[in-house]
Chains A and B, each alone.
Chain A
Amino acid sequence: MYSEINKTMEASLFPEKNIISHQFIKAAKQLIADKVVLDQKELCTRYNYDKSFFNKIAKGEQSVPYDVLYQFVLDYNLNPSYFFPTPKSSESLYLK
Chain B
Amino acid sequence: MAEKNKTKKGPKRELNAVDRRYLKAADILVETGRSKSHSEICISIGIDRSIISKMKSEGRSVTMQQLEATITTYGLNSEYFFYDAKSLFEQADKSKSSGVATNGDNNKVFNVGQGNIEGNILYEQIADQIINEAPPELHNKINTLVLETGKIKKIASDYKEEVSVLKTEKREVEARLQKTNEELHAVKDELLNVFRNK
Task: Please report A residues at the B interface, Cβ cutoff 8 Å.
Answer: 1-4, 6, 9, 12-13, 18-20, 63-64, 66-67, 69-70, 73-74, 79-81, 83-89, 95
Contacts and interface: CB of A to CB of B under 8 A. Distances in A.
B78 to A, nearest CB: 4
A18 B65 contact: yes
A9 B130 CA distance: 8
Interface string B77-108: 11101110000001001001000000000001
Given A81-B78, A87-B96, 18 more contacts: A2-B44, A2-B69, A2-B73, A3-B47, A9-B130, A13-B133, A19-B68, A20-B64, A20-B68, A63-B65, A80-B78, A80-B79, A85-B129, A86-B71, A86-B75, A88-B75, A88-B93, A88-B108
Contacts of B79: 79-81, 95
Given A74-B82, A80-B81, A88-B96, A6 B64 contact: no
A66 B128 CA distance: 28
A13 B126 contact: no
B72 A6 contact: yes
20 contacts: A2-B44, A2-B69, A6-B72, A20-B68, A63-B65, A66-B18, A66-B61, A66-B63, A66-B64, A70-B17, A70-B18, A70-B82, A74-B83, A80-B83, A83-B78, A84-B67, A87-B129, A88-B90, A88-B93, A88-B108
Nearest to A67: B16
Nearest to B17: A70
A88 B124 CA distance: 12
B113 interface: yes
Classify chain B's interface size: 35 or more
Contact of A87 (B81, B125, B134): B125
A1 B47 CA distance: 10
The dominant DSSP class at the A interface is helix
Contacts of B126: 86-87
A81 to B, nearest CB: 5
A61 to B, nearest CB: 16
B136 to A, nearest CB: 12
A86 to B, nearest CB: 6
Nearest to B133: A13
Contacts of A1: 46, 113
A87 B128 contact: yes
